[in-house]
Amino acid sequence: MNRRPAPRKKTTVSRSSKAKSKNKKSFPVGKMILYSAAIALAITLVATVYQYRNGFLYYLGFKTDKIAGRLSPEERKIADVRIFEILSRHDTRLVGFDVSEYQDKIDWEAIDKIEGEFPLSFVFIRSTAGKDYVDSRFDENWKAAKKHHFVRGAYHYYRPNENSLEQAELFIKTVKLQKGDFPPVLDIEQLPENQSMDSLKTGLKRWLKRVEKHYGVKPIIYSGESYYNDFLKEEFKGYKFWIANYNFFVENIKDEWLLWQFTEKAEVNGIKSLVDVNVFNGNGEDLRTLTIKK
């Protein structure tokens, strides 16, 4: 008899078995990316904590009696950590603050150190703004700073849309600099509304030259870092700059800056509201070299 060959038995593999086999061969790309991101984040956090370890340890270990401020507790903690860390990094340089009528009446007797550890050596005081405004507490603060042995400086808040020479004359009329004071300071932060940047620069130069002629010393220019880089750095070479930059990740004063205003959130005994704090790019001898000689 002719017999038909028996059919071969097919081997079947379930979908689940195929999936398991596939999983064994390759790690999903999505999970790999998530794991990599998690590792990178962990490394960044560890690095940040290590980088600011002095500030964090200082706050956690010693800062239990902070005076009340206008910041929330969380914001206050972050501000304190940054302030302590920056001042720790610049412990060979001098530290100061700046005030205006916005700080209200100041108890100058109570001002000593910031964060309980870093002595305050100098203060900048707003004197005038625009062509016709005198800070209501300038005279009071100016005399008190001298009495309490702070190296003092006066600054003028420049208004771009007002006559530059009239602004200069108001500053000259208001501020009587003495031996040991900082050179005059021009504060420029605003962009002009009805004039070009070239016109603004011309006005700034007129103010600076008029004030320099009167006091016999080159003024200092204050501004934010972006404003400085975009409009002032190249055009005003030869002037010393006081730069404001509050970026949390900026850690050191730049060589080209005379002063660095690194925070507007400090608390100082004797002052009710928050205060700007500044690092001077030098020591006591450097400061004496800079100040008015006669």
What is residue 268's three-state secondary structure? coil
What does the block give as tokens for 190?
């605003």
Which residue carries 């950590």 as its tokens?
81
Cβ(262)–Cβ(278) below 8 Å? yes
Dist. CA 176–CA 164, nearest whole Å: 19
Look up 104 and say whether it is catalytic. no
Vertex 287: Cα angle to 285 and 289 (nearest 5): 70
Which is the catalytic residue, given 112, 139, 189, 286?
A: 189
Q: Which of 85, 98, 135, 181 is catalytic?
A: 98
- Which tokens sit at 234? 């190249």
Q: Which residues contact 69 (CB under 8 A, 6 or more apart)?
A: 76, 265, 267, 274
Active site residue 235: no
**Helix (H) / strand (E) containing 39:** helix 29-51
Q: Answer whether 97's CB lies under 8 Å from 266's CB.
A: yes
Neighbours of 112 (CB within 10 A): 13
What sign has the CA pseudo-torsion 245, 154, 152, 181? positive
113-114 vs 118-119, strand pairing mode: antiparallel
For residues 227 and 235, the answer to whether their CB atoms sit within 8 Å is no
Two tokens, residue 168 = 């200069």
Active centre residues (catalytic) = 98, 189
